[in-house]
Structure 1
Amino acid sequence: MAGVLLAGLLAPASLGAGALSNQVSDAVQGISATLATNEQPRVTTVTDSAGHPIATLYDQFRLPVTIDQISPAMKAAIVSIEDRRFYDEGGVDVKGMIRAALHDTSGSGSQQGGSSITQQYVKNYLINVVDRDDKVAQAADRADTIARKLREAKLAAQLGQSMSKDDILSGYLNVVEFTGNIYGIGAAAQAYFHTTTDKLNVQQSALLAGMVNNPNTYNPYAHPERALQRRNTVIDAMVTNRTLDPKDAQIAKASPLGVVGDSPEIPSSSCLGSAPDAGFFCQYAVIYLMEAGMSLDQIKTGGYTIRTTMDPGVSQTVKNAVDTNVPPTQDGVANTFAVVRPGKTGHDVLAMVSNRSYGTDVSKGETSTNIVSEPSNVFGSGSSYKIFTAAAAMQAGKAGLDTRIPNPGSQCFTPPNANRYTSCYPVKNDGTYADPISLRDGLATSPNVAFVNLETQVGMPAVVDMARRLGLRKTLTYSDGGREPITDPKNPLSKDEQYNEPQSKFFQDKLSFTLGDSPVSTLEMANVSATLMSGGMWCPPNPIASVTDAAGKPVNVKHEACEQVVPTGLANTLMVGLSQDTKTGTSAQSARAANWNHADIGKTGTTNESESVAFVGGVDDYAVSSMVFADGPHPQEICPGNPVHLGNCGNGAFGGTVAAPPFYRAFSQILGSRPDIPIPPADPTYLNAR
């Protein structure tokens, strides 16, 4: 501690000994324990269900290594240039600190360092770990003050007694910065040389060791001549320190810098760097974990391995299908698609894709909004919402699958809670239908009048609540304007119920609900199918298979509990009603064109102006939702064709003709020739009104 004491003696007289002692003690308290654990921000890896990486998440790109994983050349280089007495001194370089202290107080002008590697480890740990989110504290960590230097010296002395030299050296090499967002020797070896730390040769080690002193000044891309000169200085220091033969040094000094490319190569730090079929899934997984209690900083610095439920085969096949249907750069048209696996104990998400990719380059058709999981289809999914009306009517006993429902060609309905000034709600069918029509045939052919008629009998609260129960948990918390309700009184939209109320409240008196003209989530509609296919058991759409920490220990993830939201008999009977859509219903023609002949369920939807069309259904153990909707600033009618496009085509797109084909294309490949899982039989309880 002689150097520390001398530094204190050389402090300006105006800084009292008591004040200096208090500053140092206050700063040191609690930091020693943190340093001893050597916990540093790490890279979190997100994988698909097979364990293949789909994204890296980090605040600092760091790949920690042990001392045994660092090449002898790298260890020799850093010790030779930064602290050649490292293995002989305590935590503080007494000789160096005395020399620097005497020199800096002599009035000669220039300042000298005196820090050991242990002290540098302390300083870098404070800057890059403890205070990484606090600019003011980082400035104090760099300040050229006696108090700061004494704090470092005291911490270094403590570390010298509690940690081995090898642990200190590896801790130091793991924490230092190498320009940009590259931290630690493991990340630097990969970014600069596409290698690992155990394979670093003399010239590579010398370059990296030389950068530690000033990463920006000795950046080999920005300042190659300075970097070369600094590298060679390190090589000479290795000779002086007798860790490198002079002949080998000459060979190393004659070699080029050898860095890769035009800049260091590091992976994306977020889900924006994921493959086109994985970005939305990755982002949804991160949000899911945050809602389960993990902070974003915890996720990005914890070094976790997040294994998702994403099925790489299903995901890529579905992605190819939607890209074929609507090209990624198609102006103003999005095709989103979600796949969920039904189950009594959980609903695992298998795929979340779109013709758009998750990104920021609009010219490539990318979007930074998760248009698969969020209620981003602001135009709605059309008649697929008739599922909710049918389920509510069956539960209330107002109708069964064979119940015949009044179905005139048009009708004007009195809205709920109407008064004498309330106008009736006009509804007409798009085509010719039987009158009355059975609920079974109505689900297949989708007449509007019959379902609004049924909605009036059941009551809006029951229908809206059924939508929530079956799966629209987040969708119904959004306003009819397609965003979270606006409550800020300064916003003029806060006075408009279309924008200031959640849909769960807004639609309590609006019969248009069953026609699906409100914002909706593609993922949640797929989960509606999963609820029915699970015998009426709702579970949250889960993207997480497992999470393990940096040490490989499992991390518990909280999941919402599954709920039996409708009786199994009702769910099975409703599926029987939905099983005719691809056989005799609204998507049958497209199914035949695709040679589709599987036992499945389906319900299509088309909005009034064809700004959105949908197919919601499932086959075997896959629940699906495909939605094609206008997503640009100037929405228009969606027109069928090759490709699907915006326009004024007179007869616009329909759910059966535009949203269903990607389903047939993808699942014809996914299912292959495997035997179908049959649709469960109907429960006689739900065949007729009670």
Structure 2
Amino acid sequence: MSIRSGLFKLLGLCLLAGVLVAGIIFPVAGAAGVISNQASETVESMSSDLADEPPPLVTTITDRDGNPISTLYKQYRIPTASNEISDAMKWAIISVEDRRFYDHPGVDWKGTLRAAISNTSGGDTQGASTLTQQYVKNYLINVIYREDPLGQQKAQEVSIARKLKEARIAIQLETKMPKEEILTGYLNVVEFSRQISGVGAAANAYFDTTAAELTVSQSALLAAMVNNPAVLDPWNNPEEATERRNFVFDKMVENRKLSAEDAERLKEEPLGVVPGGPNKPPANCIGAGPEYGFFCQYVEDYLLDLGMDKDDLYTGGYTIRTTMDPEATHAAKAAAEAEVAKEEPNVANTLSLVKPGKDRHEVVALAANRDYGTDKDAGQTTYGLPHEVFNVTGAGSSYKIFTAATAMEQRKYGIFDTVPVPGFHTSPVFNGGGDHCPTRPSGIKAYCVQNAGEYGGSMSLQDALAQSPNTTFVILEEETGMGPVVEMASRLGLRKTMASNSANGEAPVPDHEDPRFSMTQTEFHGPGGIFDAGAGFFTLGASPVSNLEMANVAATIMSGGVWCPPTPILEVINRGGNEFPVEEKSCEQVVPEKLADTLAVGLSKDVDPGGTAAAAASGAGWERPMIGKTGTTQFQGSAAFIGATPQLAGSAMVFRPDRPYGGLIDGGPGNVRASAGSTGNMFGGKTPARTWFRAMNPIMEGLPVEPLPEPSPEYS
């Protein structure tokens, strides 16, 4: 190198050093001008964030007794206080990353200048960041910019500007936090690969221990990994991880925190990580397992529907105590599986249980024959079969509950009044029948309906609910008007169902050419929809429906006509240990109490001889007073049984979740399958009713036998 070029390089380095020092002290010096003020405010704000805002934490979901069932997170982190971290871990990270940590004011001047000079002059890229600076960088990457790839990129780019900003924040941070807090903060925010963040989670995931119990060897491996977590992953790259761990031992010897003899001995030890990969819980409801996963998913969906931010749910560190009863859930799951094998293609058997009440309707269990999970070949699914509007072919004649309630409310019929039961009926009001229906002078098909069985010409409304003649309830729809019947369905509990579309149970698609997609079910079936006076087949339950909401319909009836949202939440506690308010919808008196009580009596004969669920009730040895209503759709493609005692309401549904249209074959418990043809032999009194009684018998065992309410003369 010539003397002249050497002088120029020396001059450049001196200027660079001056820029660095000026940049670092820039906010402290209080330089005048708008740019100075803005820079200072930015540094002050970011250093305050690091001092005050905690990083993302794990949300825990529990059953009603407080036993954890699942965790939700984006970064697996176990908050760890300073006194909960072993000295070995602290000295390992200090020795390898920042030997002068306790001596500098946040920036190691010598190291920073050396790195800047090397990087600017084209030499090897050097970091030379202090632990305080690394805390700043990791906090920016893993907390502030964790959902912002561009921000993450800027937070770790190799540039003088980034180093200056990082150094300024580090200096400010050291004026706000003691060294021990900075070290603890760093160890809680740094990433150890595979979404494992912080030493508490790393100790558990890598060694099945706590941060307080970390040994020197374990601490050295974790301290080694922060240099490059992906490359130094001990399961994928054990040789590189061992080499870097041993380097940490050497640095601990240099820092007089480990003897040379112990270092050489420890270098011979294996890495000691848990076999097969890190020990960490799944990051979503998969962790709840095959039995509790559906309930966990409902908890998440319920909170998001109430307006909770999903990112907040997954990072807020909440403890969510739910209403789930594990014993009831187990009984419900066992019953669903006993009737329909979990591996059975295209058959879902679901059971939802809700506790009636005038203040709350707590969801007790959500179950399906299928397991909750991602292995479809093993009969698993992550679809919300028990609670979403997923049965797209409907709940059949169980919808006659809404028609009966409307007729009673309008005082057209009391529950013991005689109703007509013709074998065949052509509606003078409704349109839209099939080929077997006559064509009116207007050219529009009339709506006509016939019964599935033979009945006399009339019976009481109570007997009609038990024996379920179709013609009767279409006639009742004509007399009440379709609008009130559709509205009654929503009032009694089908809130999400009626707000979905009539095609696939999802949100309406605006301006879709097919009105089944573009309208809500309320619009589609009610007056003003595609049918002049409404869809007469509504009472026959041929539209998408939520099993949970049908269970809640039964709960509303058994609660004296009080609707409450089917809630899975008992309490939500935030990371600070305080209750987090969950703004749930208020309960509503949707029908008069005397009407609901009388309707309950009207629904009490379905399990008696002659009722559509009598065989299932008798086979289960059922003896308690209850309400019940079966339902079967045309071609036997889906079926339902809705029932309740004063203590517990439930709905069981069997349907085809994958290819909805076609029949179901019931060959007895454990022998249910999807038909290869268009029809089947399924009825609500078969698989659904058997599922309901099979679960309810053990759940109700030991509880007092409570009577149904008395009917009111006003509605009798």
Q: Taking structure 1 as the reference length, what is the TM-score of the superposition?
A: 0.94
Amino acid aligned to 1:52: N
Q: 1:388 to 1:46 in 2, by over 3 A?
A: same
Pick from 675, 685, 694 the counterpart of residue 665 of structure 1. 694
Q: Match of 1:546?
A: 571
Provide the rounded CA distance (Å) in 2 between the counterparts of 1:200 and 1:513. Answer: 65
Q: Match of 1:14?
A: none
Q: Deviation of residue 299 (structure 1)?
A: 0.4
Provide the rounded CA distance (Å) in 1 between the counterparts of 2:536 and 2:415. Answer: 22
Aligned length, in residue pairs: 677
Q: Deviation of residue 3 (structure 1)?
A: 13
Q: Deviation of residue 95 (structure 1)?
A: 2.8
Q: Deviation of residue 577 (structure 1)?
A: 1.1
Pick from 400, 417, 441 the counterpart of residue 414 of structure 2. 400
Amino acid aligned to 1:603: K
Provide the rounded CA distance (Å) in 2 between the counterparts of 1:210 and 1:631. Answer: 50
Deviates more, 1:373-382 or 1:407-416: 407-416
**Cα pair 1:119 1:152 within 8 Å, conserved:** yes
| 1:329-349 deviation digits (Å, cap 9, x = unpaired) | 111110111000111011111
Provide the rounded CA distance (Å) in 2 between the counterparts of 1:123 and 1:667. Answer: 56
Provide the rounded CA distance (Å) in 2 between the counterparts of 1:61 and 1:322. Answer: 34
Amino acid aligned to 1:77: A
Provide the rounded CA distance (Å) in 1 between the counterparts of 2:183 and 2:547. Answer: 52
Q: Deviation of residue 4 (structure 1)?
A: 10
Q: Match of 2:20?
A: 8
Q: Deviation of residue 100 (structure 1)?
A: 2.8
Provide the rounded CA distance (Å) in 2 between the counterparts of 1:21 and 1:447. Answer: 82
**Cα pair 2:346 2:658 within 8 Å, conserved:** yes
Is residue 138 of structure 1 aligned with residue 163 of structure 2?
no
Alpha carbon RMSD of aligned pairs, Å?
Answer: 2.2
Pick from 482, 504, 508 the counterpart of residue 504 of structure 2. 482
Secondary structure of the structure 2 residue equivalent to 1:277: helix
Q: Match of 1:593?
A: 619
Amino acid aligned to 2:620: A
Provide the rounded CA distance (Å) in 2 between the counterparts of 1:576 and 1:276. Answer: 37
Amino acid aligned to 1:615: F
Q: Match of 1:464?
A: 486
Q: Match of 2:640?
A: 614
Provide the rounded CA distance (Å) in 2 between the counterparts of 1:629 and 1:487. Answer: 24
Q: What does 1:120-131 correspond to in 2, within 5 Å? A: 120-131=134-145
Pick from 656, 661, 664 the counterpart of residue 685 of structure 2. 656
**Cα pair 1:3 1:93 within 8 Å, conserved:** no
Amino acid aligned to 2:111: G
Pick from 34, 38, 42 the counterpart of residue 57 of structure 2. 42
Provide the rounded CA distance (Å) in 2 between the counterparts of 1:30 and 1:10. Answer: 20
Is residue 646 of structure 1 aligned with residue 644 of structure 2?
no
Q: Deviation of residue 398 (structure 1)?
A: 0.5
Provide the rounded CA distance (Å) in 1 between the counterparts of 2:206 and 2:485. Answer: 60
**Cα pair 2:637 2:680 within 8 Å, conserved:** no
Deviates more, 1:317-326 or 1:647-656: 647-656
Provide the rounded CA distance (Å) in 2 between the counterparts of 1:81 and 1:656. Answer: 71
| 1:507-560 deviation digits (Å, cap 9, x = unpaired) | 121110111111100000000001001000000111111101111110000010
**Cα pair 2:431 2:536 within 8 Å, conserved:** no
Is residue 94 of structure 1 aligned with residue 109 of structure 2?
yes
Provide the rounded CA distance (Å) in 1 between the counterparts of 2:224 and 2:77. Answer: 19
**Cα pair 1:3 1:98 within 8 Å, conserved:** no
| 1:40-72 deviation digits (Å, cap 9, x = unpaired) | 011101111111112111111111201111011
Q: Match of 2:80?
A: 65
| 1:188-233 deviation digits (Å, cap 9, x = unpaired) | 1111111110111011000000111111222212221111111111
Deviates more, 1:668-677 or 1:325-334: 668-677
Q: Deviation of residue 633 (structure 1)?
A: 2.4
Provide the rounded CA distance (Å) in 2 between the counterparts of 1:487 and 1:228. Answer: 57
Provide the rounded CA distance (Å) in 1 between the counterparts of 2:200 and 2:115. Answer: 32
**Cα pair 1:50 1:312 within 8 Å, conserved:** no
Amino acid aligned to 2:616: S
Is residue 410 of structure 1 aligned with residue 424 of structure 2?
yes
Q: 1:3 to 1:30 in 2, by over 3 A?
A: farther
Q: Match of 1:577?
A: 602
Is residue 150 of structure 1 aligned with residue 150 of structure 2?
no
**Cα pair 1:479 1:502 within 8 Å, conserved:** yes
**Cα pair 2:75 2:197 within 8 Å, conserved:** yes
Pick from 547, 550, 568 the counterpart of residue 525 of structure 1. 550
Provide the rounded CA distance (Å) in 1 between the counterparts of 2:328 and 2:19. Answer: 66
Q: Match of 1:308?
A: 322
Amino acid aligned to 2:515: E
Provide the rounded CA distance (Å) in 2 between the counterparts of 1:590 and 1:651. Answer: 19
Amino acid aligned to 2:707: P
Amino acid aligned to 2:452: D
Deviates more, 1:392-401 or 1:663-672: 663-672
Provide the rounded CA distance (Å) in 1 between the counterparts of 2:535 and 2:428. Answer: 10
Q: Deviation of residue 272 (structure 1)?
A: 2.6
Deviates more, 1:238-247 or 1:304-313: 238-247
| 1:108-167 deviation digits (Å, cap 9, x = unpaired) | 621332211001100111111111111111111111111111111111111111101111
Provide the rounded CA distance (Å) in 1 between the counterparts of 2:536 and 2:566. Answer: 28
Amino acid aligned to 1:657: K
Amino acid aligned to 1:375: V
**Cα pair 2:551 2:650 within 8 Å, conserved:** yes
Provide the rounded CA distance (Å) in 1 between the counterparts of 2:337 and 2:498. Answer: 29
Pick from 71, 76, 94 the counterpart of residue 79 of structure 1. 94
Deviates more, 1:109-118 or 1:537-546: 109-118
Provide the rounded CA distance (Å) in 2 between the counterparts of 1:183 and 1:655. Answer: 51
Deviates more, 1:452-461 or 1:413-422: 413-422
Q: Deviation of residue 598 (structure 1)?
A: 1.3
Secondary structure of the structure 2 residue equivalent to 1:667: helix
